[in-house]
Each structure stands twice: as C-alpha cells, then as structure tokens.
A and B are shown apart, each in its own frame.
Chain A
C-alpha cells in the first residue's frame, strides 16, 4: 500500500492541479482539456476499439523490433566482450550508429525496404540492437578474470563456464540493457509512427495534431507514457524475480 502510494502521489497531484487549473480557466480548455473530459473520451475510444487498435499496433512493432534487435544485440555483445578483435572491428560502426538519430535514417530505410512495417520495425530493431550490444559487451567485459580463472581451475569447461560464471555475472548488466532497449524500442516506434504509419499511438498523436483533436492528442500521449511505464515496471518485476541476488528494488 505504502509502496503504491510512493509511486502514485506525484501523478495524482499533477492530475488534480491540471483539473483545477482547467476548471478555473487558468489554462485554456481548448488546448488543455481537463482530465474530467479526457476520462469519458478515453472510455469511448476504448469502447469503439480505436485506442486498443493503436496500442496493439505500437506494441506489435515495439516487440518485433525489440526481440529482433535485442536478440542479435545479445549475441554480438557477448562476442565483443569475449573477443577483442570483434570489439575493435564493430566499435566504430556501433558508436557512429548509436549517436545517429534513428528517425533520420527512416527515409533511407524506406528507400531500401519500402513504405511498410518492415522499414519501421527495422529501425526499432536497430535502436534496440545498439543499446543491447553496448550493455551486454560492457557486462561481459566487466566480469573479473579471477572468476573465470577460478572456475577453470576447478575444471569448468565451455557450457559450465557459461552457466555458472558468465550468465550470473552478466545478468544484471544484460537486464539493464534489455530494459533500456525496450524503452528505446517504444520511443523509436512512436517516433516512426508520427512520421509514417497508418496506425499506432504515434499515428494517433500526429493525426490528432493535424485535425485539432486535442482530447485524442492527450489520450495518445497518455497511452505512450502508460505503455512506457508498464513495460519498465514489467521488466523491473521480472528482474527482481529472475535475479534475486542483485538485490535491486
């Protein structure tokens, strides 16, 4: 109960201040519709299936890109961590791509892959891949060599090393990478949808902006924020259960 209160008091306070400010006309309700108007609009949008349809489209792209990108990033990150020459070969490219705004690559990707979900998911996967690769490589590099030497001295071979040393030692770093990569995947998905997508939360936000539908605009932003929070909390919870030894709360 106390834990929930700690999470919720600030958002609740913001909503209350927003409602009061809009009701007293301190802010223009045309631009800032009060939460009491947004709630029925959200309910209607859920009832007619519009909001669920957009959320589903965004989640589909986010998870497709995340699974592809993070899966590959995990493998490449491990390779970079255990083989110095792999790191030297890939680091310049990864560093350059990491700092490049992914949305800036969209026109190029669309020229190669067309105006389809393949382009959108490819960009999401790229963002997840880079994040996961860097965190995984750091986690593998960060394993004290003494752990590995000790295990080898006790006769641990390939699989045993992986299971007993590499996995437990890198898991916290890998999980941090997963959490950040998922967040990055959602961000890129919504950004790509803003520019070019027939559905999705980003499309909903952009469409609302173009048609001056301010209630829908806020619903879209709230849905994106809610999804981000839910995904973050979901992975945090999974981390607590899967990696109890890290002691993360």
Chain B
C-alpha cells in the first residue's frame, strides 16, 4: 500500500514538473571550457527556452568521462574537442554521432596549440622547431588534439617522437613544472598559461594554427536520445547553440566568463579580449579534418582501425 502511495506521489510530482516547465530537458556533458561561452550565453539569453528546451549541464571531472556518459545514455549531447576517445566510442558501436562543427584553428586568433617553453630550456627563445630535439615536453591528454598538434610540429621540424621525451600531464601541473624548469615545453590548450598573469614568465613558441590553418577541432556530438528520438528536438537544440555562438562572436559577454576566469585564475581582461573568429557559425562539419585525425589516431595505435569520417557523423540536424 505504502509502495503504491509512493509511486502515485512520484507520478504526480513528475506530472507537475512537466506541466510547470513544459520543456524538453537536454543533458549536455561538457567540461567548463572557454569555448563553451556561446553555449552558456544561449542559456543566459533564453535561446534554449525559446526552443522549448531546458538544459542540464553535466560536468564530469575528466574529459574521458564524457564518452562514458554519452555512450551510457546518461547524457544527450556533448561539446568536446575531437579525440581518440570520441572516435573510438562511436567507431566501436556507441550510439553517438558528430552533429555539428564548432571551432577551427584560425591563424592570429587564440593560443590553442601554442608551444610554451621554459626560459632555462629556450634562453634565446623559440627560434626554430628544431630546438625541440632532446626536450621534455608535455601534452594534456594522450588522445586529444594537443598530442596531434605535437606531431604537426614534429613533422614540420623533421623530427619524430623518438627525438624528444613526451609526457602526459594536466595543464596546471605542466605549468608549474614549466615554471620550475623541470619541464622544457608544453602544448597549450589556449586557456591555461596563455591567459594567465604568468604568461610573461614563459617563452612563447609557434602556434599550430599557422601550420594547420582551418583545422576543425571541436564538435557538437549527439547521443542516442537525440539521434533516435524526434529529430525536431535535436535541430532545435543545435539552432539555439548556433544562435548563442553568433551572439558571442558578435561581442555579447556571458556571465559564465567571469566565473570561468575566477575559477581558473585567469586574467578576465585577456579573456574578454580574446579573438572569437574561430567559431564555426553555421555548424558545418569538415569531413577531411575528422578523417585526418582518425588516420593519426590509428597510426598512433590509439584506435584499433582508421574509422571513416562519414561513419562518425550525422548530418540530419544540419540539413534542416
């Protein structure tokens, strides 16, 4: 009897909730990164509400947790950089697909993929990529774009991984070790020491956007509920996301940025002045770039095979 009463109360509560908001809830798994600014702006300005959507952001402690949430159906979508984890999850049967593109490497715009070095290791500055030979260098994640960018640098310099000591370290640990001279260089995410007050303590090196201009490195990915459910929901979500991105690119500042600067101890003025031209305003997907990354991931032994880019994406949401 008690159990029935409990179930009835629960059902009534659920009905009340859906009547009170009347909105479809979308659970987005994402790390609080700078490139999320457009998304948060869309939420702050009510663009999702305009589309009849309600957003819940799930923040896993680590990027890898995103794929587990998405594959397990605990998240409906994710905004993340391309990585071996993402393409492997989809390639191995997870019901998820890349639905839209978000960010491109843009020369003269931002520090994503910039090399920073310690003053001890590069006393004369980064005069040549050849100087990387024999150095100890950190990348943030084994399967992420920073590691891919490192290979772009090495290829340009005619070096291989055997010529240097590559360590996988979190960006903050790497920054501390770089400052202490225990590390020679790191590949920046673009929102770590690049935007901190300590930037001047490091030697600024080349940025990968000059070597790989236009490379699309961040995407919006949908999970099972959006792929197999009513297409209109996914399209509405994408529409609101792109609207938020356009507002952000046109200069509107989300409250999220202040919180982001405070949490990560970054300089707010530097953050506000950051170039915003890297965002893809129409959500178009660059298949060649996905294929290039998939080929790299397979060549590095991070993927069991080279997945075909076409099999990793779903254009139905963009085509509307």
Contact = CB atoms under 8 A, between A and B. Distances in A.
Interface residues of A, number: 20
B235 interface: no
Contacts of B84: 210-212
A147 interface: no
27 contacts: A28-B72, A30-B92, A31-B71, A107-B173, A110-B182, A111-B177, A111-B182, A115-B167, A115-B182, A196-B167, A198-B167, A206-B142, A207-B302, A210-B63, A210-B83, A210-B84, A210-B85, A210-B144, A211-B85, A211-B303, A212-B64, A212-B71, A212-B88, A212-B92, A213-B88, A213-B304, A214-B92
Nearest to B86: A212
B94 interface: yes
A30 B142 contact: no
Interface string B163-201: 001111100010011001011000000000000000000
A70 B266 CA distance: 45
B168 A196 contact: yes
A207 B183 CA distance: 21
A209 B84 CA distance: 10
B132 to A, nearest CB: 16
B3 to A, nearest CB: 25
B101 interface: no
B248 interface: no
Interface in A203-236: 203, 206-207, 209-214
A30 B92 CA distance: 7
Given A210-B63, A210-B64, A211-B143, A30 B182 contact: no
B176 A107 contact: yes
B89 interface: yes
Contacts of A196: 167-169, 173
A210 B300 CA distance: 14
A114 interface: yes
A81 B182 CA distance: 39
Contact of B142 (A31, A110, A111, A207): A207
Top 9 A-B pairs, shortest CB-CB distance: A211-B84, A211-B143, A212-B88, A212-B85, A212-B89, A114-B182, A210-B64, A211-B302, A212-B67
Given A110-B182, A115-B169, A115-B183, A213 B302 contact: yes
Given A210-B84, A211-B85, A211-B302, A30 B94 contact: yes
A212 B176 CA distance: 29
A211 B83 CA distance: 7
B168 A111 contact: no
Nearest to B167: A115
Contacts of B142: 206-207, 210-211
A214 B93 CA distance: 12
A69 to B, nearest CB: 23
A212 B141 CA distance: 13
Interface in A1-47: 28, 30-31
Interface in B269-319: 297, 301-304
Contacts of A203: 168
Nearest to A44: B304
Interface string A100-113: 00000001001100
Nearest to B136: A115
Contacts of B143: 207, 210-211
Given A115-B167, A203-B168, 18 more contacts: A107-B176, A111-B177, A111-B180, A111-B182, A114-B182, A115-B182, A115-B183, A196-B168, A196-B169, A207-B142, A207-B143, A209-B64, A210-B64, A210-B83, A211-B297, A212-B89, A213-B302, A213-B304
Contacts of A207: 142-143, 302
A31 B65 CA distance: 12
